[in-house]
Amino acid sequence: MARILLLYSTTDGHTRRIAEVMATQWRAAEHEVLVHDVSLPLRSALSSFDAVVLGASVRGGRHQVFASEFVGAHLDELQQMPSAFFSVNLQARTPPKDTAEGNPHVQQFLASTPWRPSLVTVFAGKLDMRRYRWKDRLMAMSAMWATGDRVWPWSVREYTDWAAVRAFAEAITQAEAAT
Ligand X SMILES: Cc1cc2nc3c(=O)[nH]c(=O)nc-3n(C[C@H](O)[C@H](O)[C@H](O)COP(=O)(O)O)c2cc1C
Contacts to ligand X from residues 58-77, by CB under 6 A: 58-61
* Interaction of residue 36 with ligand X, rule CB under 6 A: no
Total residues contacting ligand X by CB under 6 A comes to 23
Contacts to ligand X from residues 95-154, by CB under 6 A: 105, 125-127, 132, 136, 139-140
How many degrees, rounded to 5, is the angle at CA 72 between CA 69 and CA 74? 110
**Rounded CA separation 63/11 (Å):** 10
Among the candidate windows 10-18, 36-44, 112-120, 146-154, which touches ligand X by CB under 6 A? 10-18
* Interaction of residue 164 with ligand X, rule CB under 6 A: no
DSSP-derived pairing of the beta strands 126-128 and 156-158: antiparallel
- The residue within the footprint of ligand X, chosen from 53, 90, 119, 144 (CB under 6 A), is 90
* Interaction of residue 91 with ligand X, rule CB under 6 A: yes
- Output 51 or 106, the one with its CB closest to ligand X: 106
Instruction: Tell me if residue 73 falls in helix, strand or coil.
Output: helix
* Sign, CA torsion 14/155/65/87: positive
Angle between helices 162-178 and 14-28 (to 10 degrees): 50
**Rounded CA separation 156/47 (Å):** 40
- Output 51 or 122, the one with its CB closest to ligand X: 122
- The residue within the footprint of ligand X, chosen from 14, 31, 63, 74 (CB under 6 A), is 14
Could you tell me the smallest distance in angstroms from the CB atom of residue 178 to ligand X?
Answer: 30
Instruction: Tell me if residue 35 falls in helix, strand or coil.
Output: strand
Among the candidate windows 19-27, 39-47, 85-93, 108-116, which touches ligand X by CB under 6 A? 85-93
DSSP-derived pairing of the beta strands 62-63 and 83-89: unpaired
Contact positions toward ligand X, by CB under 6 A?
A: 10-15, 57-61, 88-91, 105, 125-127, 132, 136, 139-140
